[in-house]
Amino acid sequence: MNKVFLSGKVKKRPEVAYTPRGRKVITFPIWVAEGDFSVEIIGAGEAFPGGLDEAIGGGVLVAGELIKTKLKSRDILRVKASKILRMEE
pLDDT tens-digit series, residues 16-74: 899 999 888 888 899 988 888 889 999 876 666 665 556 788 888 999 999 988 888 88
CB 45 within 8 A of CB 23: yes
Q: What sign does the dihedral 41-13-9-63 (CA atoms) show?
A: negative
- Where does the pLDDT of residue 3 fall: very low under 50, low under 70, confident under 90, or very high at 90 and above? very high
Give the model's pLDDT for residue 66: 93
Give the model's pLDDT for residue 5: 94
Domain ranges across the chain:
4-87
* Residue predicted with more confidence, 4 or 86: 4
CATH superfamily label, 4-87:
Nucleic acid-binding proteins (2.40.50.140)
| Cα 32 from Cα 79, distance rounded (Å) | 13
| Cα 36 from Cα 19, distance rounded (Å) | 32
Where does 1-89 show beta strands of DSSP type E? 4-10, 15-18, 24-32, 37-44, 59-71, 74-87
